[in-house]
């Protein structure tokens, strides 16, 4: 049985599955249910400064997009930080941490970009016994209009400044939560590191309008006929999050900085991918909001079973394992040749591979052979693009088969070169020609 115990910036939890700062972690009732269900930790929903709490809209807070059978693929929200009094949250956090000492309890915080504001709240949080704090520099809606959330996360100088204050005024580990609503995720990560952060967590939600009501022409979710962009999350954002995690994990300037991976984690498989790309643990929200807390059982057993099957003993055995394989395009091996192959026994003859290839790609798949409906790859046309694999509805029906070195590539008429060669040295690259001259 694999050991799923997790230590993240010194914070211990029985497994790497934390609930992200969000509605599921807004109060003791929910958090205790989550812990009973088996979650390793929670990031308590973001606390604001003392005083009258923020208010939320009193209409729809969520919008969504769906796949087949209304499977939720993407969710967005316009909910703000906690709308409960600070003292109530602090009291409940303290009580929960006492009842559940083996679980991680992190406080998410968002106060104005003023040293006094951070200096004031940090001791109050520390007093609860929380294991650490997460700086909410991510929320893209509402709070950002007031100079907080992503308004801070989009300015690396502000990130560095606030992180520095936090490291100065608390002994608790500091996790800096990053917004994806920027052009280069490495910049805010570097700033956080420069400020002395213990870790970064990402991604927060993405600016989004999920849909438009075509009767009223209001964006969804609609409040009295108007809509505001909300924060997008759920399975649809996972590829964006994976890339951003990987960018930070492989950036020489932030290499080794602990990362808490967030963004569309729905199954154990998603979690394992985040870990492989360098995350030390993961945070989950939308999956729990879709299916309830029980899903953590599937995540725990799935991750554990996979690790057992592969002989991985601890999380350290998998964390970052895929990072060395993330490369710039220019270093990809241009002498690697793969061809699509269709398993005729598995093929159900829907023809989607053919029409995708014929209409939109390289005209490399037959539709009819000798008057019979038959889908087969024409190797002399196939560039190995993988589109057919992606549109095929049958698992493993079409696979990409690499050509061994020396084998004739029927498309180019050349044998496959056994040597690695990339764009930087390719004769068509003007830069490489210059270098050669």
Partner 1 sequence: MGTNASGIHAGRLSPTDYDRNFADLHPPLDHHEALVAADRCYFCYDAPCMTACPTSIDIPMFIRQISTGNPVGSAKTIFDQNILGGMCARVCPTETLCEQACVRNTAEERPVEIGRLQRYATDTAMDRNIQFYARAARSGARVAVVGAGPAGLACAHRLAMNGHAVVVFDARVKPGGLNEYGIATYKTTDDFAQREVDYVLSIGGIEVRNGQMLGRDFTLGELTDNFDAVFLGMGLAGVNALNVEGEQLPGVEDAVDFIAALRQAEDKADIAIGRRVVVIGGGMTAIDAAVQAKLLGAEEVTICYRRGKEHMNASEFEQDLATSKGVMIRHWLQPRRVIDRDDRVAGIEVEYTEMRDGRLVGTGETGILAADQVFKAIGQTFVPDAVGNLLLEGGRIAIDAEGRTSMPRVWAGGDCVKAGEDLTVTSVAQGRDAADSINRMLASSARPSIAVA
Residues carrying an active site annotation: 139
Q: Does 367 bind partner 1 (CB under 8 A)?
A: yes
Instruction: Work out how close the CB of 261 gets to partner 1 at its nearest, in angstroms, rounded to a whole number.
Output: 31
Closer CB to partner 1, 393 or 427, in the complex: 393
Closer CB to partner 1, 113 or 367, in the complex: 367
Instruction: Work out how close the CB of 350 gets to partner 1 at its nearest, in angstroms, rounded to a whole number.
Output: 4
Q: Does 393 bind partner 1 (CB under 8 A)?
A: yes
Q: Does 394 bind partner 1 (CB under 8 A)?
A: yes
Instruction: Work out how close the CB of 372 gets to partner 1 at its nearest, in angstroms, rounded to a whole number.
Output: 12
Contact (CB, 8 A) for 200 and 178: yes
Contacting range for partner 1; rule: CB under 8 A; set: 203-211, 254-262, 344-352, 416-424: 344-352
Tell which one of 48, 77, 354, 409 touches partner 1 (CB under 8 A).
354
Closer CB to partner 1, 39 or 375, in the complex: 375
Which residues are bridge partners to 132 per DSSP? 106
Letters for 29-68 (x = contact with partner 1 by CB under 8 A, - = none) are ---------------------------------------x
Q: Does 350 bind partner 1 (CB under 8 A)?
A: yes
Instruction: Work out how close the CB of 384 gets to partner 1 at its nearest, in angstroms, rounded to a whole number.
Output: 21
Q: Does 69 bind partner 1 (CB under 8 A)?
A: yes
Please enumerate in sequence order all residues whose Cβ is within 8 A of that of 381, keeping only pairs 6 or more positions apart, or say none.
362, 363, 364, 411
String of DSSP letters for 90-131: HHHHHHHHHH-TTSEEEEEE---S-HHHHHHHHHHHHTTT-S
Please enumerate in sequence order all residues whose Cβ is within 8 A of that of 58, keeping only pairs 6 or more positions apart, or say none.
none
Contact (CB, 8 A) for 345 and 375: no
Q: Does 378 bind partner 1 (CB under 8 A)?
A: no
Size of interface with partner 1, in residues (CB under 8 A): 14
Instruction: Work out how close the CB of 338 gets to partner 1 at its nearest, in angstroms, rounded to a whole number.
Output: 24
SS3 24: helix
Q: Does 349 bind partner 1 (CB under 8 A)?
A: yes
Closest CA to 348 of 382, 392, 384, 386: 392
Q: Does 369 bind partner 1 (CB under 8 A)?
A: no
Closer CB to partner 1, 338 or 350, in the complex: 350
Whole-angstrom distance, CA of residue 230 vs CA of residue 220: 9
Closer CB to partner 1, 32 or 376, in the complex: 376
Q: Does 348 bind partner 1 (CB under 8 A)?
A: yes
Tokens of 126: 């520390």
State CA 155 to chain mean position distance: 21
Closer CB to partner 1, 38 or 351, in the complex: 351
Q: Which helix (H) or strand (E) holds 201?
A: strand 199-202
Whole-angstrom distance, CA of residue 355 vs CA of residue 363: 9
Contact (CB, 8 A) for 132 and 93: no
Tell which one of 351, 401, 416, 425 touches partner 1 (CB under 8 A).
351
Q: Does 398 bind partner 1 (CB under 8 A)?
A: no
Contacting range for partner 1; rule: CB under 8 A; set: 30-38, 45-53, 347-355, 410-418: 347-355
State CA 426 to chain mean position distance: 34
Instruction: Work out how close the CB of 174 gets to partner 1 at its nearest, in angstroms, rounded to a whole number.
Output: 46
Whole-angstrom distance, CA of residue 206 vs CA of residue 169: 30
Instruction: Work out how close the CB of 66 gets to partner 1 at its nearest, in angstroms, rounded to a whole number.
Output: 10
Instruction: Work out how close the CB of 264 gets to partner 1 at its nearest, in angstroms, rounded to a whole number.
Output: 21
- End-to-end alpha carbon distance in the chain: 59
Q: Does 352 bind partner 1 (CB under 8 A)?
A: yes
Please enumerate in sequence order all residues whose Cβ is within 8 A of that of 391, keeping only pairs 6 or more positions apart, or say none.
352, 353, 356
Closest CA to 20 of 343, 257, 284, 361: 284
Tell which one of 310, 373, 426, 433 touches partner 1 (CB under 8 A).
373
Contact (CB, 8 A) for 39 and 297: no
Whole-angstrom distance, CA of residue 397 vs CA of residue 393: 8
Closer CB to partner 1, 224 or 359, in the complex: 359
Q: How does DSSP classify residue 182?
A: S
Contacting range for partner 1; rule: CB under 8 A; set: 9-17, 130-138, 332-340, 352-360: 352-360
Closer CB to partner 1, 35 or 375, in the complex: 375
Tokens 């929910």 correspond to 30
Interface ranges with partner 1 (CB under 8 A): 68-70, 348-352, 354-355, 367, 373, 393-394
């Amino acid at each position: 049985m694999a050991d799923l115990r997790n230590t993240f910036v010194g914070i211990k939890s029985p497994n790497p599955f934390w609930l992200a700062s969000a509605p599921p972690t807004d109060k003791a009732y929910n958090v205790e249910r989550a812990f009973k269900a088996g979650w390793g930790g929670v990031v308590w929903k973001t606390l604001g400064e003392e005083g009258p709490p923020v208010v939320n809209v009193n209409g729809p807070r969520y919008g969504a997009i769906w796949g087949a059978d209304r499977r939720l693929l993407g969710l967005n929200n316009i909910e703000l930080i906690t709308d409960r009094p600070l003292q109530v949250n602090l009291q409940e956090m303290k009580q929960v941490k006492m009842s559940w000492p083996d679980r991680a309890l992190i406080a998410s915080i968002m106060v104005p970009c003023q040293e006094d504001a951070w200096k004031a709240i940090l001791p109050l949080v520390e007093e609860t016994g929380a294991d650490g704090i997460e700086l909410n520099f991510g929320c893209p809606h509402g709070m950002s209009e007031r100079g907080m959330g992503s308004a801070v996360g989009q300015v690396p100088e502000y990130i560095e400044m606030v992180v520095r204050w936090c490291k100065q005024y608390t002994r608790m580990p500091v996790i800096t939560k990053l917004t994806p609503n920027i052009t280069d995720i490495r910049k805010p990560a570097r700033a956080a590191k420069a400020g002395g952060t213990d870790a970064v967590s990402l991604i927060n939600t993405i600016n989004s309008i999920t849909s438009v009501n075509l009767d009223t022409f209001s964006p969804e979710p609609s409040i009295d006929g108007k809509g505001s962009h909300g924060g997008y999350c759920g399975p649809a954002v996972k590829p964006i999050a994976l890339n951003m995690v990987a960018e930070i994990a492989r950036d020489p300037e932030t290499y080794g900085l602990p990362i808490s991976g967030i963004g569309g984690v729905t199954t154990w498989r998603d979690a394992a991918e985040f870990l492989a790309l360098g995350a030390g643990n993961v945070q989950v929200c939308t999956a729990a909001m879709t299916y309830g807390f029980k899903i953590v059982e599937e995540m725990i057993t799935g991750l554990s079973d996979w690790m057992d099957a592969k002989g991985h003993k601890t999380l350290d055995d998998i964390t970052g394992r895929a990072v060395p394989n993330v490369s710039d395009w220019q270093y990809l091996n241009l002498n690697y040749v793969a061809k699509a192959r269709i398993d005729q026994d598995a093929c159900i003859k829907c023809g989607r591979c053919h029409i995708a290839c014929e209409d939109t790609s390289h005209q490399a798949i037959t539709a009819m052979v000798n008057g019979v409906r038959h889908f087969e790859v024409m190797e002399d046309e196939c560039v190995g693009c993988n589109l057919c694999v992606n549109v095929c509805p049958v698992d493993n029906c079409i696979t990409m088969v690499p050509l061994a070195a020396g084998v004739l590539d029927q498309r180019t008429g050349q044998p496959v070169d056994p040597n690695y060669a990339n764009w930087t040295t390719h004769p068509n690259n003007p830069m490489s020609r210059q270098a050669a001259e």
